[in-house]
Chains A and B, each alone.
Chain A
């Protein structure tokens, strides 16, 4: 972030206004804080935070205050009634447990399977089977879920996987391409000599993988894991189609309860939304670095 960058277009307008006389003073000016851009960006940030503010303030209102339709007023009096009702209506503990199971399962399966496959592919690149497998696994990036959704609904139903376990398997498979792409790129940068010294000490491939390679992959596993987490925790389409028993639904799918019934108890629905989105936001705040890096790496490599 040490590069000097052109400022926002808005700011340039006022820089150009007094152009000729300001010319000599321009160089030192660039080193200073660009306040107009800062202000504009802070205003933009408000538009990001506004829906979140509405969610939080609505969640803490009483039902009586929530129905007046004023989204931006502060809760008065402050009430946690919405949370209590949402907790019971959506059976929050069950929903959260299933979401957690699906998310943890997807994260672990994605990291382990993708790291396994990537390691085998990179170390045997000279073999046709492994090379073609790479392109085969990558092909899923070109297949949108809706294309294969209908047969998947049928097949999972027929083999008894129309439940959270089925969602874990499918979600892992849809995350696989992106994850294998990141892992293989990273593995190619690990020098082979490192591994050979471990082998000279008598380690088997299995041991080399777990003791040497997997720990080295940790930063990439973090990125892969966070993306699997965000996908599995937030997804609506796949669980809503694959899980046939409403009692086993994940948190995002449970929220449709408030579209059909209880649609006027805004404080309850917003409390429920807040409980469903909070874990992802908290996880993001702690893992920002990997989230941001992951987006960039994924795009540049994909």
Chain B
């Protein structure tokens, strides 16, 4: 990543290392370190510790080894939430990246109203997920079935949100609606970094516009595609707000994400068990981050 590559050059800075560190620098650094440790590291360690116990959150507890983890892997509800979350994340990543890329291509071409359109396309990013989910909830429950009835499309006549097999589509739509702007801005930055003369040269050589797009532009912004896919996927795995606002995890538990399972289980008194779940989720998040690091290494010259 860019950060790491600059670090290396900084490390070889002229020798200042023999001097003592001015105490004030500790004053600058320590508040962040201490608060960070108390707010994130300590809870993380406590959580992993209790995942090996039978604690219900309060009172006595006993070590029970890997019992929670063994139970976890044979729990159909947990399995379902992982399947749903991964399936939903993959679908959303595809929708978001395809739409965002096309919008970015459009917004960097010679169009009118460029500034105004860009302003509008970014708005969804700044709206609270839970609130926009409530608005879409109304549209899916009232307006879409009304339109379905009027047009005579049977599967639209009832609310998408009430159908266990289709509710995920509504979640993908709203999540994508909100996630497209960020992805689009990154693609715009990528497209603007492609030198104009590359396309001009291709044009002179007789390459058609689709050829230019798929043979020149897409390969040149491949690094941005990798970043967008991974950042998006990581974000969607944490899905919570939008699902709460749309389906509440229902109908039944059809659209319950991993985050919702953790919280719902906790409210039901399964503290240690859900901490084991959270720990597994943490390992998954780390694996994806490692994948990200290995894929983005060597792509330092993005900007």
Among A2-10, A85-93, A217-225, the one that faces the other chain is A2-10
| Chain A hits for B114, CB < 8 A | 1
| Contacts A4-B110, A236-B129 known; 18 new A-B pairs at CB < 8 A | A6-B209, A8-B102, A12-B208, A33-B112, A34-B110, A38-B112, A41-B113, A48-B121, A145-B259, A151-B42, A151-B46, A155-B43, A234-B127, A277-B128, A284-B122, A284-B123, A299-B228, A301-B2
**Alpha-carbon distance between A11 and B110 when the two chains are bound, in angstroms:** 12
Q: Does A203 contact B (CB under 8 A)?
A: no
**Alpha-carbon distance between A117 and B34 when the two chains are bound, in angstroms:** 11
| Chain B hits for A97, CB < 8 A | none
Chain B contributes a number of interface residues (CB within 8 A of A) equal to 115
Q: Does A185 contact B (CB under 8 A)?
A: yes
Q: Does B227 contact A (CB under 8 A)?
A: yes
Q: Does A76 contact B (CB under 8 A)?
A: no
In chain A between 215 and 254, which residues have their CB closer than 8 angstroms to a CB of chain B?
230, 233-237, 241, 252-253
| Chain B hits for A123, CB < 8 A | 25
Q: Does B192 contact A (CB under 8 A)?
A: yes
* Contact status of A45 and B120, CB under 8 A, knowing A4-B199, A205-B22, A301-B3: yes
What are 29 of the A-B contact pairs (CB < 8 Å)? A3-B196, A4-B196, A6-B109, A6-B209, A6-B213, A26-B203, A34-B109, A34-B110, A37-B106, A41-B103, A44-B121, A48-B121, A117-B31, A117-B33, A127-B21, A142-B286, A143-B282, A146-B259, A146-B263, A147-B278, A150-B262, A236-B245, A237-B240, A273-B135, A283-B126, A292-B185, A296-B188, A299-B224, A300-B186
* Contact status of A181 and B17, CB under 8 A, knowing A48-B120, A123-B25, A125-B11: no
**Alpha-carbon distance between A233 and B138 when the two chains are bound, in angstroms:** 23
| Chain A hits for B108, CB < 8 A | 1, 3, 5
| Chain A hits for B124, CB < 8 A | 48
Q: Does A259 contact B (CB under 8 A)?
A: yes
C-beta contact mask, B94-106 vs A, less than 8 Å → 1, else 0? 0000000011011
Of B121, B129, B217, which contacts A234 at CB under 8 A? B129
Q: Does B84 contact A (CB under 8 A)?
A: no
In chain A between 1 and 54, which residues have their CB closer than 8 angstroms to a CB of chain B?
1-9, 11-12, 15-16, 19, 26-27, 30-35, 37-38, 40-42, 44-45, 48-49, 51-52, 54
Q: Does B231 contact A (CB under 8 A)?
A: yes
Of A26, A170, A185, which contacts B3 at CB under 8 A? A185
Of A45, A136, A276, A302, which contacts B231 at CB under 8 A? A302
B126→A40 contact, CB < 8 A: no
| Chain B hits for A176, CB < 8 A | 32, 36
Q: Does B165 contact A (CB under 8 A)?
A: no
Q: Does B166 contact A (CB under 8 A)?
A: no
| Chain B hits for A160, CB < 8 A | none
Of B1, B118, B126, B212, which contacts A6 at CB under 8 A? B212
* Contact status of A296 and B189, CB under 8 A, knowing A4-B110, A302-B1: yes
Q: Which residue in chain A gives the minimum CB-CB distance to B266?
A: A150
**Alpha-carbon distance between A103 and B213 when the two chains are bound, in angstroms:** 42
Q: Does B143 contact A (CB under 8 A)?
A: yes
Binding site for A on B (CB under 8 A): 1-3, 6-7, 10-11, 13, 16-17, 21-22, 24-26, 28-29, 31-33, 35-36, 39-40, 42-44, 46-47, 50, 57, 102-103, 105-114, 117-132, 134-136, 138-139, 142-143, 146, 177, 182, 185-186, 188-189, 191-192, 194-196, 199-200, 203, 208-210, 212-213, 217, 224, 227-228, 231, 234, 237-238, 240-241, 244-245, 258-259, 262-263, 266, 271, 274-275, 278-279, 281-282, 285-286, 289, 302-303
A301→B1 contact, CB < 8 A: yes
